């Protein structure tokens, strides 16, 4: 299915169903799946004590890596990874609980009370409420924001053998607990070359905006092209995509929709990002190297407009990618011939030698 059609015609839970089952759900299947997921979104109360162990200014990805790993200490009833039913239960639990964990990490940072899930809301509407509501007043989900964030989750759901998915596969191939394997994926995604790029891209735009904005773009691009500088155009380039990432175009359109809906159409960062893209796509350095915007280039701007703090962007990416990780983990373990992973290496070190005594070294 073309991602452009999924992002427009489906919601995130339909995409989750597709990734887990290989087919899109019909109305009955969708209703049952949505209800199943929404009935597993609470986490064990004991997890509140895990959060208290973190400093309030801990990076949300440090917290999320810890919380997801900690889930492996709670669910002893479904950790036989050779049992398809156990794998299904773990998949549903992870998809259902990630929004709750991400929202808890956010509330903990802010010093606000956690908001419990509300099952009569949509998956994404419930996440927005857990993130931004307080016990002090009713919270109304903004339909445009809900739809935009749901689309962002779809765009991030799965993407072949990227670094974090390969991490989950390799980790899961030992037969370890599914929550431990997903925690490994969260840890890998955190890196600025991977899922951490959306946070890095927005920080880059804000730094540029604070230091001359569009007028200084030319100077910045010279730094990016200078091999001696460590400056990279975050949100550009890809390990495998050597053309325009279709997700980036959809992300740009979604960003425009949200900014218009929120009266932020003149957002200077969005204008700066589009100017950066225009210049990069015309610059021979980028043309020669087939560097295009990737999924992370615009996602920070729309998440910032929604009110999501920059440090939480990668946690949102992890929330979305959990279904891709767990679907691929399940695919691997469903193969009766699967074996523990063992990447090959070409040894190019010293040839065989004897250990010299200390005084001879």
Site for ligand SDX, rule CB under 6 A:
159, 162, 193-195, 197, 224, 232-239, 289, 291, 294-296
Q: What are the structure tokens assigned to 287, written together?
A: 């043309």
Nearer to ligand SDX, 133 or 302 (CB): 302
Query: Shortest approach of ligand SDX to residue 247 CB, angstroms?
Result: 7
**141/205 with CB nearer ligand SDX:** 205
Instruction: Provide the 10 A C-beta neighbour count for residue 97.
Output: 25
Beta-carbon contacts of 320 under 8 Å, excluding residues fewer than 6 positions away, are 12, 152, 153, 154, 155, 156, 157
Give the nearest distance from C-beta 165 to ligand SDX in angstroms.
7
**Active-site annotation holder among 156, 238, 245, 267:** 238
Q: Based on C-alpha coordinates, what's the Rg of the chain?
A: 22
296 catalytic? Reply is yes
C-alpha torsion 51→137→42→130, nearest 10: -70
Which residue lies nearer to ligand SDX by CB, 66 or 195? Answer: 195
CA distance 289 to 228: 17
CA angle, residues 281, 287, 289, in degrees to nearest 5:
125
The structure tokens 């920070």 sit at 300
Question: CA-CA distance, 321 to 158, in Å (whole number)?
Answer: 6
Structure tokens at 262: 């929120």
Token representation of residue 17: 């169903």
- In the bound state with ligand SDX, the residue whose beta carbon lies nearer, of 107 and 151, is 151
Beta carbon nearer to ligand SDX, 117 or 237 = 237
Q: How far is the CB of 147 from ligand SDX (least distance, A)?
A: 21
Structure tokens that stand for 322 in this block: 């959990």
Instruction: Give me the least distance between CB of 191 and ligand SDX, in Å please.
Output: 8
Say how far apart CA 21 and CA 128 lie, in whole Å: 27
- Nearest approach in angstroms of CB 78 to ligand SDX is 27
150 is catalytic: no
Active site (catalytic) residues: 238, 296
């Amino acid at each position: 299915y073309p991602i452009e059609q999924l992002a427009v015609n489906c919601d995130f839970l339909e995409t989750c169903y597709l990734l887990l089952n290989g087919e899109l759900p019909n109305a009955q299947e969708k209703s049952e799946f949505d209800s199943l997921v929404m009935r597993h979104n609470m986490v064990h109360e004991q997890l509140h004590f895990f959060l208290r162990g973190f400093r309030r200014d801990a990076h949300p990805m440090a917290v999320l890596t810890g919380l997801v790993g900690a889930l492996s200490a709670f669910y002893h009833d479904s950790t036989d990874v050779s049992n398809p039913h156990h794998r299904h239960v773990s998949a549903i639990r992870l998809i259902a609980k990630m929004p709750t964990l991400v929202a808890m990490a956010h509330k903990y940072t802010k010093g606000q009370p956690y908001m419990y899930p509300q099952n009569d809301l949509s998956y994404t509407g419930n996440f927005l409420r857990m993130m931004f509501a307080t016990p002090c007043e009713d919270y109304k989900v903004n339909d445009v924001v809900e739809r935009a964030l749901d689309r962002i989750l779809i765009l991030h759901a799965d993407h072949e053998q990227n670094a974090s998915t390969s991490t989950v596969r390799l980790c899961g191939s030992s037969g370890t607990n599914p929550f431990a394997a997903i925690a490994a994926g969260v840890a890998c995604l955190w890196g600025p070359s991977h899922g951490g790029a959306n946070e890095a891209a927005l920080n880059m735009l804000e730094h540029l905006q604070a230091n001359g904005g569009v007028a200084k773009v030319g100077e910045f691009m010279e730094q990016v092209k200078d091999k001696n500088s460590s400056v990279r155009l975050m949100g550009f380039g890809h390990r495998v995509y050597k053309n325009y990432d279709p997700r980036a175009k959809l992300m740009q359109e979604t960003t425009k929709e949200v900014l218009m809906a929120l009266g932020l159409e003149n957002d200077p960062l969005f204008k700066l990002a589009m100017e950066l893209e225009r210049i990069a796509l015309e610059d021979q350095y980028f043309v020669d190297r087939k560097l295009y915007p990737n999924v992370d280039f615009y996602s920070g701007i729309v998440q910032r407009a929604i009110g999501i703090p920059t440090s939480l962007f990668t946690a949102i990416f992890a929330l979305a990618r959990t279904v891709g990780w767990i679907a691929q983990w399940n695919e691997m373990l469903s193969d009766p011939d699967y074996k523990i992973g063992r990447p090959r290496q070409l040894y190019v070190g010293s040839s065989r030698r004897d250990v010299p005594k200390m005084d001879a070294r």
